[in-house]
Amino acid sequence: MNQQTPPVNYLNLEQDGMNKVEELFKTNNVTDNSLLNIINEGNDEFKSVNGRNMTYSEMRSMFG
């Protein structure tokens, strides 16, 4: 199997997403929409750097 090497910002995007989720918990604003917004923002950032959407496995790896 040929595995792609994640871009440098992959870990930064993952950490940014985790920070945003932690902030939602602190402010008690966890909803389906707020979590989906974080995933969509991460995907948009990923797409701006890589020129494509995340694969399903990349999204699962980054956002669980």
Q: Which of 57, 60, 54 is nearest to 9 (CA)?
A: 54
pLDDT digits (tens, 9 = 90+) for 4-59: 655 557 778 888 888 998 998 899 988 999 988 988 998 898 888 888 888 888 88
More confident residue, 63 or 16: 16
Please report which confidence band the pLDDT of residue 62 belongs to, taking 50, 70 and 90 as the band edges.
confident
**The pLDDT value given to residue 51:** 87
* pLDDT value at 3 more than 80: no
What is the model's pLDDT at position 1?
Answer: 47
Q: For residues 38 and 31, what is the distance between their CA atoms, to the nearest angstrom?
A: 11
C-alpha–C-alpha distance, residues 9 and 7, integer Å? 5
